[in-house]
């Protein structure tokens, strides 16, 4: 897995658990994070997966995901993890987001989490790519203590709570990453059943 993010690794291992594969973090092989220089989630996911596959000689799965806020013209987007700067963390990213949305009415705080997941082989075969989104809106203050990233301020109106208030199972069932990885897993099953 082309990631060192513990929260992301737990989610991915749970979603891909029924496939006959072992999900191992790239850090277990001494692989460092790739530079995310792409302009899109697809480009960044492929950069990360190809970097991990080349460094380990194994097939790799990577995802790139982020939050696109309607009132901010899609920001933070591909810069979601480093929105508050290269040394920023989840709390600082949320603080910046809330500051930028100060005064924006609830009905204009629409947002979507986006995720692109991909699978590449070390041999460089055609990648398998799956994408999904999770629509909601941005709260005015944090709620819940689960999840990571922007989960405390992302509200799902369909179920009436913040992402950080969901259990891991509930989040995986609804989230952008869960949807994209289930689609990727489905396509991997099809590939390996041929």
Q: Annotated active-site positions, please?
A: 64
Residue-level length of the chain: 194
Distance, CA of 73 to CA of 68 (rounded, Å): 8
Handedness of CA 70, 170, 25, 132 (dihedral sign): negative
Tokens 């697809």 sit on residue: 42
Structure tokens at 86: 């290269």
Distance, CA of 175 to CA of 166 (rounded, Å): 10
Tell me how far apart the terminal alpha carbons of the chain are, to the nearest angstrom.
Answer: 24
Decide: 84 and 93 in contact? Cβ < 8 Å.
Answer: yes
Distance, CA of 9 to CA of 27 (rounded, Å): 11
Alpha helices in 57-167 (DSSP H): 90-100
Decide: 38 and 47 in contact? Cβ < 8 Å.
Answer: yes
């Amino acid at each position: 897995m082309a990631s060192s993010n513990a929260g992301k690794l737990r989610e991915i291992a749970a979603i891909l658990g029924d496939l006959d594969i072992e999900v191992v973090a790239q850090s277990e092989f001494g692989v460092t994070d790739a530079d995310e220089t792409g302009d899109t989630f697809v480009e960044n996911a492929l950069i990360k997966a190809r970097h991990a596959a080349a460094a380990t000689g194994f097939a790799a799965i990577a995802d790139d995901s982020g939050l696109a806020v309607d009132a901010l013209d899609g920001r933070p987007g591909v810069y979601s993890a480093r929105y508050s700067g290269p040394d920023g963390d989840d709390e600082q990213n949320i603080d910046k987001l809330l500051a930028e949305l100060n005064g924006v009415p609830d009905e204009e705080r629409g947002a979507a989490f986006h995720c692109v997941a991909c699978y590449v082989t070390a041999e460089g075969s055609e990648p398998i790519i799956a994408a999904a989104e999770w629509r909601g809106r941005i709260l005015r203050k944090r709620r819940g203590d689960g999840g990571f990233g922007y989960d405390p301020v992302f509200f799902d109106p369909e179920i009436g709570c913040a992402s950080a208030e969901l259990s891991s199972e509930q989040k995986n069932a609804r989230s952008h990453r869960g949807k994209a990885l289930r689609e990727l897993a489905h396509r991997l099953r099809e590939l390996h059943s041929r």
